[in-house]
Amino acid sequence: MDNVAANTPCSDDFWTYTLALPHDGRAVRIARAMTRTVLHTYGMPQVSDVAELLASELVTNALRYSDGPSWIRLSNPRTKHVRVGVWDSNPTIPAPFRGALHPPGPPECAERGRGLLLVRECADRWGGYALGEEVFGMCGKLLWFELAA
């Protein structure tokens, strides 16, 4: 096993991990654990807490606002950066993630409506796009954010 690891080319520069999630609340915890493990393994522990928090907001939303499976993908678009994408089958892209420049935040007394606000405030970059059905038969949309370590 050690020999295999030693002989495997180093892929620190570009990597991608994707986890398919069932429509099950326990998937949030598993997505968080994956995020933590990947970031610690690839030398970015300093962004792990924030990445976990924001990933769990997006995965919770995927479960709450779609009725099918979803997935989470971690990749590094540039050295010492992580991009987290969460796909779900609901085609609606929430307002802030479809280009509204200054979407209103929730009223002060609101009990909900802060998850995406957290993502916008804490991530270095964020966005969303629709996935057409022509791509591997998938539809829905992907919301993403990036953090620099």
- The reply on whether position 102 binds ligand ATP by CB under 6 A is no
Contacts of 119 (CB under 8 A, 6+ apart): 54, 57, 58, 126, 143, 145
Contact partner, 146, from Mg ion, ligand ATP, none, Cβ < 5-8 Å per class? none
How many CB atoms within 10 Å of residue 15?
13
The span from the CA of 55 to the CA of 112, in Å, is: 17
The span from the CA of 108 to the CA of 54, in Å, is: 21
Q: Which amino acid is at 122?
A: C
Contact partner, 94, from ligand ATP, Mg ion, none, Cβ < 5-8 Å per class? ligand ATP
- The reply on whether position 18 binds ligand ATP by CB under 6 A is no
The distance in angstroms from the start CA to the end CA of the chain is 30
Which residues bind to Mg ion, rule: CB under 5 A? 61, 115
Of all residues in the shown chain, the one whose CB is closest to ligand ATP is 115
User: Smallest distance, Å, CB 42 to ligand ATP?
Assistant: 26
Length reported for the chain: 149
Query: Which residues, numbered 35-74, are part of the site for ligand ATP (CB under 6 A)?
Result: 57, 61-62, 64-65
The span from the CA of 62 to the CA of 86, in Å, is: 8
In the block, which residue shows the tokens 């796909």?
87
User: Smallest distance, Å, CB 70 to ligand ATP?
Assistant: 8
Nearer to Mg ion by Cβ, of 78 and 114: the residue is: 114
Nearer to ligand ATP by Cβ, of 60 and 75: the residue is: 60
User: Smallest distance, Å, CB 57 to Mg ion?
Assistant: 6
Residues that bind ligand ATP (CB under 6 A): 57, 61-62, 64-65, 88, 90, 92, 94, 112-117
